[in-house]
Structure 1
Amino acid sequence: MFLNRIFDLISYQISEYDKEIALAFKENEVWVTYSSREVKKIVDNLSLAFLNAGISGGDKVAIISQNRPEWNFIDLGLQQIGAISIPMYPTITSEDFRYIFEHAEVKMIFVGDEEIYEKAKNVAGERKIYSFLKMKGVNFWKDFMISGENGDLELLENSKFKVKSDDIFTIIYTSGTTGRPKGVMLTHHNVLSNVLAVSDTFLLEKGKHRVLSFLPLCHIYERTGSFCCLYMGLSIYYAESLEKIGDNLKEIKPQGFNTVPRLLEKIYDKIVSKGYELSGIKKSLFFWALKLGHKYDPGKDQGAWYNWQLKMANKLIFSKWREALGGEVLQINSGASALQPRLARVFWAAGIKICEGYGLTETSPVVSVSICNYDEIRIGFVGKIIKDVEVKIAKDGEILVKGPNVMQGYYKQPDMTAEVLQNGWFHTGDIGELDGEYLKITDRKKEMFKTSGGKYVAPQVIENKIKESNIIDQVMVVGENRNYPAALIVPSEEGLKEYCRHKGFPFTEMSEMIQKPEIVAKYDRVIEDMNKYFAKWETIKRFKLLSDPWGIETGELTPTLKLKRKVIMSKYEKHVDSIYNS
């Protein structure tokens, strides 16, 4: 079957796999599932309902919801009539809602729950809002779908025929780190080319395996991943929430899932904190295994003695890690930001294959991906450039990308489009290196800063190293136009509690602990130890401990858990000034 548009994947899945469970979501403690044929029927009815409601090719419809099958239904239903979806993060502000509604000229809105509805209602104007949950006085999505059940299927087929591969099917407003979001225009061909190229790198068996989905579908990373699953005939189970991922992993026993480094850091920190709770020989074995894992290199044979020890560590310790992930995981894909090499090593040592990739919303998103086997994985790299995509490194180190996955531009922003699309090459804003086919990311071009002494500092590399300490949860390196780099540090509560137990210090409140001289002295020693890995001009001379963690809701992190550096700088301006003025 020839695949020309993304929605062609529905018929393709039916013809190739005819899945009994294509999508699943837990409601009232019960997994509600949808077969391939049920998905097609619902999507067709929605397409006809949209046509009945006057939505046609080029019209924009917003989707604001947590992950659930209805998200996919609306998205695919719009695609079949040539309408354009506007996916939005539920966590952004109502003012951002207003801006996107108006800038994208949204005609209709679908929301996931009451909280999102209330936020959207206040800025929606005359736009009609439908909810995925049944709420009093609110239009219900199923009632909307029913309006298309007796529609003209020939009319739908005509609408589908008119949709071309190069038509824009979505405009994704990037969360960004500052300023107004930009609307990235992606075509069917952009994303479908990515799906076909990336699916060849999966270890998962087509038509049989399961994945757990918890990254937001409004981000192109998880959305393209869902299209990959549709193409490969993989059953998608949507996690109940981030808090219940652990429970869902054990329940579903997936063979794969997508994640971001921040969540892997949290998984690792939780594992280590449980290690600290052990005693005697069990605790000794745990940290013996951890030490072995930190030395691991998938592509290097470290000798019979090391290999024997690692085999024992897997039997005694790491097997429990795999059980915590459901016991059947073959592949975990990590993207959106840089993964600490230390974490990659220890997870691979534990038989948990973390395949790091690289991409951007503007590239649909994948540019490079790690081949998930021991012969080809290279720790510290983000894999090989995917099929049909070209990458070159500019003189200043910036990564430039050309290929069928590159966006059409930013919606209504030709000047900004011209800045990043030059002579067919997309300027990513990331700094990197190529070693043959392998790509390494060193930092964000816009995040690099120059000290007053004229030296350039790449903060992300330094931050990832510092976060290797078990008493540090989050860190941001500062120092633009200052004499030296410094850092804002959010301690790890679990790590600090364990340190206090070990030293016999009573742990009270975090706000009190970070003021204690003996605690500050401990962080001094950690930073001093980390500084040996950096060039002289990169070393952290001073730091400030903060009691409150950074989050999405509080505005310091993007929805994919990256630092909003300018927001943090603005919020903690006095703290930064105190570092340099005292």
Structure 2
Amino acid sequence: MSDTQTLIENRPPSVAALFLERVAATPDTEAYRYPVPAVSGEGPDEWKSLSWAQASTRVYAIAAGLIELGVKAEERVALASSTRVEWILADLGILCAGAATTTVYPQTNAEESAFILSDSDSKVLIAEDAAQLAKARERRTDLPDLAHVVVIDETGVEPDAADPEGWLLTLADLEKRGAAYLEKHPDLIKEKVGGITSDQLATLIYTSGTTGRPKGVRLPQDNWSYMAKAIAATGLVGADDVQYLWLPLAHVFGKVLTSGQIEVGHVTAVDGRVDKIIENLPVVQPTYMAAVPRIFEKVYNGVAAKARAGGPAKYKIFQWAAEVAREYAKASQDNFRRTGTASVPFSLGAKHKVADALVYSKLRDAFGGRLRACVSGSAALAPEIGYFFAGAGVHILEGYGLTESSAASFVNPGEAYRTGTVGKPLPGTEVRIADDGEILLRGPGIMQGYHGLAEKTAEVLESDGWFHTGDIGELSPDGYLKITDRKKDLIKTSGGKYIAPAEVEGQFKAVCPYVSNILVHGADRNFCTALIALDEPSILDWAKENGLGGKSYAEVVAAPATVELVDGYVKELNQGLQKWQTIKKFKLLPRDLDIEHGELTPSLKLKRPVVEREYGHLIDEMYAGTREA
């Protein structure tokens, strides 16, 4: 048996057990770093730290506080909060109590929040602030089994005469009660964690469905213990790393990163404020971070737009450097595949050195200057954008997984990564491709099933453990997986041609520096069209330089000059497509797509049916007067 197999097969039954081991092994080393806003509200945040021992004091107090409130093994405690250090401490407290966490996105409206709390039968809600508390109060009559609400941030929280006695308390109150309870029961946590079995429910994550109610994905304790060991076994992260964690922790991608960190023992800097990423990176100076493709697209578009704003000469330099980066990345990856070394021809290396001094070094500095690698997941990254960053020295390791597979089923293997693929399966995970191209997975990361939905579970989970992902893909002879599209998202034109819309959309994102979101439509039609939303800051900057300064976003996207600008990029895109893939017509949307309107998931994935339904009139306009074959 290999060391990797031994590491994974001898895993403890829970992440709670791993946490106790980590605290015992390195109590005084730094575990978490988190921002504290300046008292005046102005100036930079102050970053503070918690050692593993300090973190455990709070985690154990939260666990004991929940037990004192009457929370029993596997009972659900909901957590509705943005990404912050208290989210991690609360989640670990829930797990150390032997209970299970129901994750709720802070953007979820009151009605859907109430559905999740009711469907999960959550006994306690840990709410971030007054806004999350207000949702629970609004639907309190629908939640008779919700015994307590614990508020993390007390700002603006007022008592309400309608609250049942003891229903509302703060996280500080809970920790005080827990600490007092621990004084009377000093072995409580060790006993509770020792009694956790691998098949006990640990996490209930509700998938944001494009239609109907979300489904609760049941992830047992063993899923996270396996993920922690498998991530460590990849060798991609080490104890000296500093992770910058901003992803939504209610999402499985963010959540799995907390498990890997506990096993490896490195520092994690936690701040979920997306508008602070650019400001935080040079302060935190991470060695690795995970993100969704939209973040890399925004950085790329921002750099391109800034270069364009600097005048024709500066933009020409950027375009040249971007092409060199792509050429360099492709050559080095191809050579590494053949020979095991990432060497490139001398002339290309010389051009790359010049481009590095002019463009790439500034880009790396913006990421903090110490970044070894980024992990990208949740959706496909356009290969041309991936190659650009690779050539610029920001190595993006694409990975793949689903909520139902605890997020991390595949990841690119460090130096041997291949842009455009999601890498190889994590140790212990099996994969096979079905006859129709669907990716099937089996292993310790796969869910138990959908909460209370046996029929839905049976549709995707076979009796022998194989899980149907709903994604289409292909495996290279040496085990690298390439995702081609969602099975249900493949477009079949009226002419019988199949098109993967995500592939076309990704290519457009690499061509047009102003795009924010794009949806390609063409199912049962005789040609393809697109709905395009532009990135507001970038297009407004362009507008200032092109006689449209002072106009609103909606006015700018409606202007003929803007339509002409985007038309040029659509024509450039079409030159590289097969005839049946080309975009014949497009419409610019009056605003960007967002989570609030239900058009994007919290991990920024496009909800196609929602967008097509909302903007169906624009789609119909594009096909009006054409003869559908």
Structure 1 distance, partners of 2:400, 2:209, is 17
1:31 aligns with 2:47: yes
Which stretch shows the higher mean deviation, 237-246 or 505-514? 505-514
Counterpart of 1:568, as a letter, is: V
Structure 1 distance, partners of 2:324, 2:394, is 15
Picking from 139, 142, 150, the partner of 1:130 is 150
Give the 3 Å change call, closer, same or farther, for CA 501–50 of structure 1 in structure 2.
closer
Picking from 396, 415, 419, the partner of 2:455 is 415
Picking from 364, 379, 394, the partner of 2:406 is 364
Structure 2 distance, partners of 1:188, 1:356, is 26
After superposition, give the CA deviation of every residue in 1:11-52 in whole Å (9 maximum; x if it has no partner).
222233334321222123332322101121222222221121
- Give the CA deviation at 1:93: 1.6
Give the 3 Å change call, closer, same or farther, for CA 111–506 of structure 1 in structure 2.
closer
Structure 2 distance, partners of 1:238, 1:107, is 27
Picking from 274, 279, 282, the partner of 1:250 is 282
Counterpart of 2:112, as a letter, is: D
Which stretch shows the higher mean deviation, 334-343 or 234-243? 234-243
- Give the CA deviation at 1:498: 6.2
- Aligned-residue CA RMSD (Å): 2.1
Q: Confirm or deny: 8 A CA contact 1:26 1:240 kept in the other structure.
A: no
After superposition, give the CA deviation of every residue in 1:94-150 in whole Å (9 maximum; x if it has no partner).
111111111111111011122222123212434221110123335211101211213
Give the 3 Å change call, closer, same or farther, for CA 318–24 of structure 1 in structure 2.
same
Q: Confirm or deny: 8 A CA contact 1:197 1:386 kept in the other structure.
A: yes
Show the counterpart of 1:299. Answer: 333
Show the counterpart of 1:179. Answer: 212
Show the counterpart of 2:83. Answer: 67
Show the counterpart of 1:218. Answer: 250
Give the 3 Å change call, closer, same or farther, for CA 472–148 of structure 1 in structure 2.
closer
Counterpart of 2:180, as a letter, is: N
1:14 aligns with 2:23: yes
Counterpart of 1:61, as a letter, is: V
- Normalising to structure 1: TM-score of the pair? 0.95
SS of the residue 1:159 aligns to: helix
Q: Confirm or deny: 8 A CA contact 1:430 1:443 kept in the other structure.
A: yes
Q: Confirm or deny: 8 A CA contact 1:43 1:76 kept in the other structure.
A: yes
Structure 2 distance, partners of 1:509, 1:242, is 23
**Residues matched between the structures, number:** 579
Show the counterpart of 1:449. Answer: 491
- Give the CA deviation at 1:418: 0.2
- Normalising to structure 2: TM-score of the pair? 0.88
- Give the CA deviation at 1:482: 2.1
1:142 aligns with 2:142: no
Structure 2 distance, partners of 1:497, 1:481, is 36
Structure 2 distance, partners of 1:240, 1:162, is 33
Which stretch shows the higher mean deviation, 136-145 or 459-468? 136-145
Counterpart of 1:355, as a letter, is: L
1:435 aligns with 2:476: yes
SS of the residue 1:212 aligns to: strand
SS of the residue 2:280 aligns to: helix
Mapping of 1:6-405 within 5 angstroms?
6-29=15-38, 30-124=46-140, 125-126=143-144, 127=146, 128-134=148-154, 135-137=157-159, 139-151=169-181, 152-206=185-239, 208-239=240-271, 241-279=273-311, 282-295=314-327, 296-297=329-330, 298-300=332-334, 301-373=343-415, 376-405=416-445
Q: Confirm or deny: 8 A CA contact 2:63 2:96 kept in the other structure.
A: yes
Picking from 4, 11, 22, the partner of 2:13 is 4
Structure 2 distance, partners of 1:143, 1:289, is 56
Which stretch shows the higher mean deviation, 479-488 or 279-288? 279-288
- Give the CA deviation at 1:205: 3.1
- Give the CA deviation at 1:253: 0.9
Q: Confirm or deny: 8 A CA contact 1:253 1:327 kept in the other structure.
A: yes
Picking from 526, 541, 559, the partner of 1:483 is 526
Structure 1 distance, partners of 2:110, 2:120, is 15
After superposition, give the CA deviation of every residue in 1:419-471 in whole Å (9 maximum; x if it has no partner).
00013210000010000310000000111132233332211111111122123
After superposition, give the CA deviation of every residue in 1:351-373 in whole Å (9 maximum; x if it has no partner).
11111100001111111101121
- Give the CA deviation at 1:158: 2.7
Give the 3 Å change call, closer, same or farther, for CA 52–478 of structure 1 in structure 2.
same
Query: Equivalent pairs: percent with the same residue?
Result: 33
Q: Confirm or deny: 8 A CA contact 2:16 2:193 kept in the other structure.
A: no
- Give the CA deviation at 1:302: 4.2
Structure 2 distance, partners of 1:11, 1:577, is 59
Give the 3 Å change call, closer, same or farther, for CA 502–42 of structure 1 in structure 2.
closer
After superposition, give the CA deviation of every residue in 1:138-165 in whole Å (9 maximum; x if it has no partner).
5211101211213213343332222111
- Give the CA deviation at 1:70: 1.6
Structure 2 distance, partners of 1:2, 1:498, is 53
Q: Confirm or deny: 8 A CA contact 1:184 1:407 kept in the other structure.
A: yes
- Give the CA deviation at 1:262: 0.4
Question: For structure 2, which runs of at least 5 residues remain unmatched after alignment?
Answer: 1-9, 39-45, 160-167, 335-342
After superposition, give the CA deviation of every residue in 1:300-341 in whole Å (9 maximum; x if it has no partner).
354111111112221232111111111111111100000011
SS of the residue 1:224 aligns to: helix
Structure 2 distance, partners of 1:281, 1:481, is 45
- Give the CA deviation at 1:505: 6.8
Q: Confirm or deny: 8 A CA contact 2:84 2:272 kept in the other structure.
A: no
SS of the residue 1:63 aligns to: strand
Q: Confirm or deny: 8 A CA contact 2:248 2:272 kept in the other structure.
A: no
Structure 2 distance, partners of 1:413, 1:159, is 29
Structure 1 distance, partners of 2:573, 2:128, is 44
Give the 3 Å change call, closer, same or farther, for CA 157–203 of structure 1 in structure 2.
closer
Counterpart of 1:345, as a letter, is: Y
Show the counterpart of 2:586. Answer: 543
